[in-house]
Structure 1
Amino acid sequence: MTDTAPAAPAAPFGTRLRRAMDARGPLCVGIDPHASLLTSWGLGDDLAGLERFSRTVVEALADRVAVLKPQSAFFERFGSRGVAVLETCVAEARAAGALVLMDAKRGDIGSTMAAYADTFLRPDAPLFSDALTVSPYLGYGALAPAVELARESGAGLFVLALTSNPEGAEVQHAVRGDGRTVGSTMLAHLAAENAPEVAGGAPLGSFGAVVGATLADLSAEDLAIDGPLLAPGIGAQGATPADLPRVFGAAVHQVVPNVSRGVLRHGPDPAALRSSADRFADEVREAVGRG
C-alpha cells in the first residue's frame, strides 16, 4: 500500500454522468436509511441496522443504476461511526461502477464553504463523491470554493433551484429587483458555469440544478442550463416517469429522476430492490424516448 492520493476522475462529472445514464438508464436512487425504513426492513434503528441497510442497497444496485444518492444526515445522526459507514458506502458504490451524489445540501461562506468542499469534493478525502448537493441561499457567489474545487477535481454540483417542498416557494419564487425570480437566477448562474467556453464543450455540463418533478408548471423557467436536472419527487411523493416530458419539456433529456422510497420500500430483498429500480429506469427511458 502506498500513500499516493487517489487521482481525480479522468473525465468531468457531466461527461461521466451522460455515459452512465446512456449505459444504465437515467435514474438516481437515494440511500435514505431513516428510522421508518429501517423498521420496515426489520432492522434496528441503530448502527448495525444502518450498516446492513446501506450495504444491502449498494450490493443490490451499485452495479446497475447510474447514480446512488446517500442522504448524509441519516448517517450523521449516528455520530462518527455513522459517518464511517457512509465512507464505506461511498467507496463500495463507486467501486461497483455507480456515480455517487452526496446529498448533504451544504452552503456557507468563505473558509467554511471551502472546508465543506474539501470534505466531499477533494479526491483524497474519505467522503469524496462524484457530485454534491449545495444550497445557494447565502448567495450563489458564496459557492465559489465548491465550484472551483469541483471543476478542478472533475466532480459536479447540484444547486437547489426549484425544489418540490412547498416551503421553498417563499425564497425561490421571490422576485428580485431585475424582475427575475431567485430560482430563475440560480438557473442562469448554472447555465453560465456550463457554457462551452467555460466547460469545454462537454456533452453535459457538470453543474446541475435540483428541480422538483412534482412542480406543476415550469413553462416560465429556462431549464436549458446545458447541465443535469436532478428531479426528486418520483414515486412516493406522487410524480411518475410519465410526468417528466410535461414538467420539463425540451429539457427532459437533461433530467436525472430521483427515486428513494419508491425503490427502498421493496427491501430488504435484493432481487426486489433490483426489480423495482429496473422498472423505474425502463419507465423513464420510455417516457423520455431513450428506449
Structure 2
Amino acid sequence: MDILKNMKVFVRVAETGSFTAAARLSDIATGQVSRIISDLEVHLRSRLLNRTTRKVVLTDAGQRYLHRCKDILALVDLSEAEAAQANSEPVGVLRVHAPLSFGQVYVVPALTRYLEANPMVSAELTLSQRIPDLLHDGYDVSLRIAGDALPDSALVSAKICDMPCVLCAAPAYIERRGVPHGIEDLAAHACLPLVTPHLAVESWTFLGEEGQVDVKLPTARLRTNSADALAVALTEGLGIGVLPMLSALPALRSGALVRILDDYRLQSTSVFAIYASRQYLDRKIRTWIDFLRDFVDVALAGNMEGFNESEPTS
C-alpha cells in the first residue's frame, strides 16, 4: 500500500465531499478512489467516511485522521522542497574533514570566506591525520593527500591541487656536513625519511635531465609520519629531508631551511576532495569543492611568487 498516495486521495475526498471530484483531481478512476478509501479503513481498522447516495461525511475518526494527514503531507512537501533547494543553492550544514597541516593553512581561511559568501551554510570542520570512513562518520567532504592517484573506491574524488616536495636542510647542518652537489653525495649524509603512504620510505625519486633516478637511503636515525615534525627536526640540524612545500615554505622563507639539489624535481603529492556521489550532488558540496580549488590555486601561486630557489653554496 502506498500510504502517502492514499492519504492524498483521502484528503481530496474529504475536502471535496465527492469520490468523483477526488478521482478527477487525482487523475484516477472513481472506482479506484473507492478502493483506496476501503483499503485505508481496513488498514486503520476504523471507518473514516459515511457514504450516502448524495454525499460523503467524515466520521469522528475521519476528522482526526484528516487533521493528521494534512500535517504529514505538509511536512512531506516541505522536506521535498528543502531537498530540491539543496541542489539549487548552498544551504545546510557542511561537514568537512581535512589533514591537520593542510587544514590549518588552507582549509580554515577558505572555509571562512566560503561561509561569508554563503550565509545559508554553516560548517563543521574536523582536522585529523586519521583517514575517516566518509559515510559512517557523516562527512560531506574529506580531503586526502596522496600520490598521483587514489586507490579504486566507490567514492568520488576531485583533485584540489598538486603539492610539490623539496629536499632541504638547515644552514647549520650544511655548514657542518657540507653541501651535497650530486645525488651520489647523499649516501654520506643523514637522510631523514617522511613515513607516509604516498611517499617511499626506503628511497627518494629524483627527476632531472638524465631522467628518473631512485636513490636508496642510508639507515636513518629518525623517522616520523608528520611533515611538520620532520620540518622541526631539519631546522634543528638533524639531517636532510624531503618535505611537502606546504610544511617547508615557512622555514625556507625565514632562512631556517635551505633547498638542496634544486636542479632536480622530486615526487609531488596531490590533495583530493572525496565525496559520496556525483548524482544529485548537494549544492553546498559542489560549490565548496570548486571554491576550495580556486582558493588553493591562488594561495599556492602567491606563496611561491618571488621564492628564492637558489642552491646553497659550500
Output the TM-score relative to the length of structure 2. 0.24
Greater C-alpha radius of gyration: 2
Q: Which has the higher strand share?
A: 2
Output the TM-score relative to the length of structure 1. 0.26
